[in-house]
A and B are shown apart, each in its own frame.
Chain A
């Protein structure tokens, strides 16, 4: 009877709802409008302006400027730094994630590391550059004076791993947690050694998640700007720094909207990386539920 009652009354709201059916999506308009103005519009502006010359006429030939050797240098710089920091971050982060996952799921260590990862993954920025400068800076370092601190990409790459490792932990830990204990036990029962387990079961299971994490870290490093700006602002090594320079010196003298063009280049790069990430995540999710 209770069931009948709920289903009967349950029908009423939907009838009442039908009266409102036409405008029910209207409730989402404030959100959609906000996103349209502050996310879609700016992105559109970047794309359109990148393909126009300063007079406002279409100039698709702008894109060829991306092949310009100077511009290419910044992209190569970005690529080097992202590769270094994402590979380091992914490998070390995966090791840390494994150490965390193999412990007590409610233990203090795990909670501490997870909470810390949540904070430190966000902790890029100016402050991070200060912290490393006083730790290993060539002039004032407390731990040691690293002469390579201002070398690109080594010094800044090391600084980047500080937020890359925690990000990898956050991304990769769910995947490791998803590896079922039963699989390990099953392979042990069948006589597999630890090496064989990792080679034929654990490794293949975690590879997509690992590669996905690597790509996410790559994209993360690509868009970082504050840290490197505070680390060394005399020389522009990477695309974001060059965008910053272009923005502050743009007085309409150049024949291309440099900032927009570089930004478009970055969007394309990030889009490729993130598509790969999404595909790998889907692949990883197949087993790890």
Chain B
């Protein structure tokens, strides 16, 4: 393992053998093992997605290729359910609102607690991680009465964001906590305060810019979570993308549009996360 990790820096890791023969043999065996594992798991993860992609390009006759299903995304409307496009719109809006509310709620509070109310830190952590132990399906049972009240004022599906923020809490919290712990909050806040900065300035213009990467990670996790959420929307009888796909699949099994939309949503989330994970890494490397 030592050999592998240190060799990682040299340009040709596979060939640069160390003098120790046993080491080299073990490394070769390890490499074979690794490539077999990566191939098998890679296939397991990629094949279902490829199948989804292939089905989204299925023509009218089996085995033919066509773009029909992709063209349908913009116009599809099943009987008795709202048009697909409106569900997509609502889901994207929900993602934005949830991201904003989660950040507004979490970031200043976490920094403030770290700076001034340390005794609340543990409570905050427990509260934020609590949704992990309370399944969405349980939360939805208790949210029913709460949402009854909300529906007196507003019926829009956008109201789902209240619950989504709670679902996003653990993921956003952990991402932010990792970023915050890497910042020497005490020193830089003292420095800023001694230069006459207000607490507002300390939080938003000194500490927040230092945890940009963590905030980005938290946003992405929240975003991905909202795009894939089904349970709460379905059981509170709201409509979002996943609920819409589900109802289409019940009305018209194997409708091509199911696969094209699923695949598009997935590709969207996947590419976004992948790009950002690379961008984030590079920036950290430079800094």
**In whole angstroms, how far apart are the Cα atoms of A10 and B163 in the complex?**
41
Of chain A, the residue at the smallest CB distance from B140 is A247
Q: Which residues of B contact A184 (CB under 8 A)?
A: 1-2
**In whole angstroms, how far apart are the Cα atoms of A30 and B34 in the complex?**
49
Say if the beta carbon of A68 comes within 8 Å of chain B.
Answer: no
Chain A 128-169: CB-based contact to B (< 8 A → 1; otherwise 0): 101110110000101100000000000000000010011000
Say if the beta carbon of A46 comes within 8 Å of chain B.
Answer: yes
Chain B 29-71: CB-based contact to A (< 8 A → 1; otherwise 0): 0100110011001001101110110110000000000000000
Q: A127-B266, A181-B1, A194-B26 are in contact. Are A25 and B231 (CB under 8 A)?
A: no
B47 touches A135 (CB 8 A): yes
Say if the beta carbon of A102 comes within 8 Å of chain B.
Answer: yes
B5 touches A38 (CB 8 A): no
Q: Identify which of residues 167-199 in chain A touch chain B, using a CB-to-CB cut-off of 8 Å.
A: 181, 184-185, 194
**In whole angstroms, how far apart are the Cα atoms of A42 and B34 in the complex?**
47
**In whole angstroms, how far apart are the Cα atoms of A143 and B52 in the complex?**
12
Say if the beta carbon of B133 comes within 8 Å of chain A.
Answer: yes
Say if the beta carbon of A279 comes within 8 Å of chain B.
Answer: no
Q: Output the least CB separation between B216 and chain A (Å).
A: 13
Chain A 14-26: CB-based contact to B (< 8 A → 1; otherwise 0): 0001000000110
B242 touches A126 (CB 8 A): yes
B246 touches A229 (CB 8 A): yes
Q: A28-B124, A118-B277, A132-B48 are in contact. Are A244 and B117 (CB under 8 A)?
A: no
Q: Which residues of A contact B117 (CB under 8 A)?
A: 24-25, 27-28
Complex interface: stretch among A57-65, A69-77, A204-212, A259-267: A259-267
- Counting chain A CB atoms within 10 Å of each CB, the highest count among B48, B49, B113, B270 belongs to B48
Q: Which residues of B contact A288 (CB under 8 A)?
A: none
A28, A35, A44: which contacts B113 (Cβ < 8 A)? A28
Complex interface: stretch among B72-80, B188-196, B206-214: B188-196
Q: Which residues of A contact B139 (CB under 8 A)?
A: 39, 42-43
Say if the beta carbon of B85 comes within 8 Å of chain A.
Answer: no
Number of interface residues of B (CB under 8 A): 87
From DSSP, what is the main secondary structure of chain A's interface residues?
Answer: helix
Of chain B, the residue at the smallest CB distance from A141 is B51
B246 touches A9 (CB 8 A): no
Q: Which residues of B contact A24 (CB under 8 A)?
A: 116-117
Say if the beta carbon of A107 comes within 8 Å of chain B.
Answer: yes
B141 touches A126 (CB 8 A): no
Chain B 137-156: CB-based contact to A (< 8 A → 1; otherwise 0): 11111111110000000000
Q: Which residues of A contact B132 (CB under 8 A)?
A: 219, 274
**In whole angstroms, how far apart are the Cα atoms of A243 and B143 in the complex?**
14
A103 touches B266 (CB 8 A): no
Q: Which residues of A contact B278 (CB under 8 A)?
A: 111, 115
B33, B48, B145: which contacts A99 (Cβ < 8 A)? B33
A residues engaging B (CB < 8 A)?
Answer: 6, 9-10, 12-13, 17, 24-25, 27-28, 30-32, 34-35, 37-39, 41-46, 49, 92, 95-96, 99, 102-107, 109, 111-116, 118-120, 122-128, 130-132, 134-135, 140, 142-143, 162, 165-166, 181, 184-185, 194, 219, 222-223, 225-226, 229-230, 233, 239-240, 243-244, 247-248, 259-260, 263, 266-267, 270-271, 274
A-B contact pairs, 15 of them (CB 8 A): A28-B124, A30-B105, A31-B105, A41-B146, A96-B37, A99-B37, A107-B8, A118-B273, A131-B262, A134-B51, A135-B51, A230-B246, A248-B235, A267-B135, A270-B134
